[in-house]
Amino acid sequence: MNHDQHQSSQNEEDSCESSTNRPLSPWLVGLFILALFWGGFYLAFNSGGFRQDVYESNVVNWAGGGAVAAAPPDPKVVGKRLYSQNCIVCHQATGLGVPGQFPPLAGSEWVLSVAPHAENQLVLLMLNGHQGPMTVKGQSFNNAMPQWKQLADDQLSAILTYIRSDWGNNAPAIDPAFVAQIRKSDGAQSDPWTQAQLMAVPPVKDTPPAAK
């Protein structure tokens, strides 16, 4: 009797142990596989093919949500962002520069293409930079402006369109196609410009598209 009792409790232990080692419920396995597939499909359809430019911050339209997302980005908004990334340290958020060091863009005859300054000279200045004496709004500067040819045509176009429209400036947009045209014509020049060289380049006027 005693022996039997012992035996039965042993059996209970055995059955208990085997229940923890039981294979997972087929339902749970099924659910897990389903979740994996769902995750896979979700990524495949919502990742934009993992293309970097889908989330390119400079191309994003900040104006609003889904309904206007298809509208082309406003060059002035994009341009302002690029300006804060690339130009603000020298020319300042006010566009006034730093006296004696960095010239103003606000009211600048170079930016506004006031004759004898021209749009193509402005684009050339941006592409290759500038070195040595330069006169802006009657003030003399003798410093160095870095080159920006690493920026794309539409980025340069956006920056120039922006600086020609803020701080009281009011000059027409510079079209990306015009930047591309001037970049092509610029084959021989790789050093920074001097003021004399730049002013010797014959003026070419940008004709912004009628839609703008």
List of residues contacting ligand HEC (CB under 6 A): 86-87, 89-91, 102-105, 108, 110-111, 125, 130-132, 134, 136, 141-146, 148, 159, 163
Q: Show Cβ contacts of residue 127 under 8 Å, excluding neighbours closer than 6 positions.
A: 147, 148, 149, 156, 182, 183, 186
Q: How far is the CB of 119 from ligand HEC (least distance, A)?
A: 11
Residue nearest ligand HEC, CB atom distance: 87
- Nearest distance in Å: CB 190, ligand HEC: 17
When the beta carbons of 136 and 173 are compared against ligand HEC, the nearer one is 136
Nearest C-alpha neighbor of 209 from the set 169, 178, 164, 166: 178
The minimum distance between CB 181 and ligand HEC, in angstroms, equals 19
CA dihedral for 195, 200, 203, 206, sign (positive or negative): negative
Would you say 34 or 88 has its CB closer to ligand HEC?
Answer: 88
Kindly report the length of the chain.
Answer: 212
Measured from the CB atom, is 73 or 127 closer to ligand HEC?
Answer: 127
Q: Enter the tokens of residue 46.
A: 């919502």
User: Closest distance between ligand HEC and the C-beta of residue 199, in Å?
Assistant: 12
- Which residue number, 81 or 130, has a Cβ lying nearer to ligand HEC? 130
Nearest approach in angstroms of CB 67 to ligand HEC is: 32
60 closest CA partner among 48, 77, 43? 77
Question: What is the distance between the alpha carbons of residues 79 and 153, in angstroms, rounded to a whole number?
Answer: 12
73 or 95: CB nearest ligand HEC? 95
Q: Which structure tokens are listed for 106? A: 């606000």
Chain-centre distance for alpha carbon 134: 30
